[in-house]
Amino acid sequence: MATALTQIAARKPAWLKVPAPGGPNYLALKHLMRELKLHTVCEEAHCPNVGECWEHKAATFMILGDVCTRNCAYCAVAHGTPAPLDVGEPVRLAEAVRQMALQHVVITSVDRDDLPNGGAEVFAACITEIRRRTPGTSVEVLIPDFKGSEQALRLVVDAQPDILNHNLETIERLYRLARPGGRYARALELLRRAKQLAPGALTKSGIICGLGEEWDELLGAMRDVRAQGVDILTLGQYLRPSNRHLPIARYYTPAEFAELRRLGMAMGYRHVEAGPLVRSSYHAWEQVEHATAAV
């Protein structure tokens, strides 16, 4: 007999169904990624929006390889022992940004706990190389927690990204289960320090919905993030990558996401992007415009 959670997963709501990717821009971008030996979180994390975003020539580059040193229970990215550091990656990434003529670029990474600064120098180098080639491109970085290292965070902040993002991901009660390599308080501390180091820059965070949190717990996490001075918040539905990952506890409706957005804006965020298919970089270029207009 199927369990209740299996039955929930089987009843995937209509609002989560998206067209299969395959348009001309998608195919061209995929070819460019392979040619320049670059990775995207769009592919590695099985993002449902890959077709839409790539057709708009928007992609989230994933640096520092495609193997993570952590094993989060909700994430599709492979974990294990990473390959040696690729020193030529920042130049190739910046060249891809130039060829694509991107106005806004998002850079994220796997966790690299095997490196002294968690790969912070590579984030900084990517920002520098992009500024050199396409100074008009705004740069958003979605960084790991660097195990709480202020030195690593400062390396990234000093490179002056336009937006610094670190995802809280889930509520405090579920952290050990969903994100065993991370710490709830450490994630909040990183966001607080980032705003202190660069008060004029935008900071951003995201929360996954449907891992087993209660409504009030979710609102509490949203308040915790806002208390660190964070400007932009994203809220999206958890979609189970495989049977080896945490099950889906519930599906949030579009109306519930609309209410979360309303409540988030009332908490003082400059912009809240909330919806079933929302991910950190979903319509990231529009998030920047909304947050800037709210100043």
Are residues 126 and 63 in contact, defined by beta-carbon separation less than 8 angstroms? yes
Element (H, E) at 67: strand 67-68
Q: Please give the residue range of the domain that contains residue 186.
A: 17-293
Distance of CA 203 to the CA centre of its chain: 12
Model pLDDT for residues 176-215, shown as the tens digit of each residue: 999 999 999 999 999 999 999 999 999 999 999 999 999 9
Model pLDDT for residues 91-116, shown as the tens digit of each residue: 999 998 998 888 888 999 999 999 99
Q: Report the DSSP beta bridge partners of residue 163.
A: 140, 202
> Residue 66's pLDDT band (boundaries 50, 70, 90)?
confident
Mean pLDDT of 21-33: 66
Model pLDDT for residues 112-157, shown as the tens digit of each residue: 999 999 999 999 999 999 999 999 998 999 999 999 999 999 999 9
Model pLDDT for residues 250-286, shown as the tens digit of each residue: 999 999 999 999 999 999 999 999 999 897 766 665 6
Cα(75)–Cα(179) distance, rounded to whole angstroms? 9
Model pLDDT, residue 60: 81
Count helices and strands in the chain by DSSP H and E runs: 12, 10
CA angle 109, 113, 118 (to 5 degrees): 60
Q: Is residue 7 pLDDT above 50, yes or no?
A: no
Q: For residue 6, is it within any domain?
A: no
Model pLDDT, residue 5: 46
Q: Which is it for strands 202-209 and 232-237: parallel, antiparallel or unpaired?
A: parallel
Q: Is residue 1 pLDDT above 60, yes or no?
A: no
Q: For residue 43, is it within any domain?
A: yes
Tell me how crowded residue 212 is: count the other CB atoms within 10 A of its CB.
Answer: 18
Task: Give the domain CATH number at 32.
Answer: 3.20.20.70
Q: For residue 289, is it within any domain?
A: yes
Q: For residue 5, is it within any domain?
A: no
Q: For residue 2, is it within any domain?
A: no
Cα(75)–Cα(69) distance, rounded to whole angstroms? 12
Model pLDDT, residue 3: 47
Model pLDDT, residue 257: 98
Model pLDDT, residue 10: 53
Q: Report the DSSP beta bridge partners of residue 63.
A: 109
Q: Is residue 28 pLDDT above 80, yes or no?
A: no
Are residues 279 and 76 in contact, defined by beta-carbon separation less than 8 angstroms? no
Q: Is residue 240 pLDDT above 80, yes or no?
A: yes
Cα(124)–Cα(126) distance, rounded to whole angstroms? 5
The token pair at 122 is: 């590579």
Number of structural domains the chain divides into: 1
Q: For residue 172, is it within any domain?
A: yes
Distance of CA 231 to the CA centre of its chain: 15
Backbone dihedral region for residue 129 (phi beyond 0: left; psi -120 to 50: alpha; all else: beta):
alpha
Q: For residue 243, is it within any domain?
A: yes
Distance of CA 230 to the CA centre of its chain: 15
- pTM metric for this prediction: 0.86
